[in-house]
Amino acid sequence: MATFHQKIKLLKGLVTGDIAHTGPFWVTVDVTRRCNLLCPGCQYHSPILDILSPGDHAQKDIPVNLLEKLCNELKIMGTNQIVLTGEGEPFLHPHLFDLISIAKKAGFNITLLTNGTFLDKNRIQSIIDSRLDILKVSLWASSPEEYERNYPEAPPGNFKKIVDGLKLLTSLKAEQKSMLPSVFLHQPITRHNFQNCAG
């Protein structure tokens, strides 16, 4: 969240139009191109869409030292939030928790976006231990049937696996009296789920 002082600096830059007087309030970092799903609506891995993303496709994961360098530069600019996401699933980055640790040590508020399919007990405990601030789970469904329609290439049982992971996260947080991470469900409205999204 931007401070009042940062907002004034942003406004000053917008009014004068000459230079930026503050850095970005938050930055999105694409941590991996790897993914375990082929979601039809994904611009990177959809079996239907044919869009080639920019950049070097041989580079699958952001190097740990690059994120460290980025954190140092962003701190100087006054940025206070980093969103870890990706063309793929962040939990497939082999050093994801190192990335979170580096960013947290640098003083950033960290949000992680995931498809939720890797929420097992060990990873959930690592999430809690890392003091991750926000976990956003992209779940385009309210039932197993909707999930299968929205993710036709996904393994059967994924919906239950995700819901069970979220329940386990909730119970482990309660057991350990941890307020973090805050959990948000991200549910884009599609033709397969719009009936259950109202209200």
159-187: per-residue pLDDT in tens?
A: 999 999 999 999 999 999 999 999 998 77
CATH number of domain containing 57: 3.20.20.70
Task: Mention every residue, 6+ apart, whose C-beta is less than 8 A from residue 185.
Answer: 136, 137, 139
Question: Domain of 179?
Answer: 30-196
In a domain, 25, yes or no: no
CA distance 36 to 115: 9
> Which pLDDT tens digit goes with each residue over 97-109?
999 999 999 999 9
Give the CA distances from residue 179 to residues 98, 106, 129, 132, in Å, rounded to whole numbers and listed in that order: 21, 21, 11, 10
pTM of the model: 0.81
Q: Could you please report the per-residue DSSP string of 50-72?
A: --PPSS-TT--B--HHHHHHHHH
107 phi-psi bin (left φ>0, alpha ψ -120 to 50, beta other): left
1 assigned to some structural domain: no
Number of domains in the chain: 1
Which residue, chain included where needed, has tokens 């940062």? Answer: 6
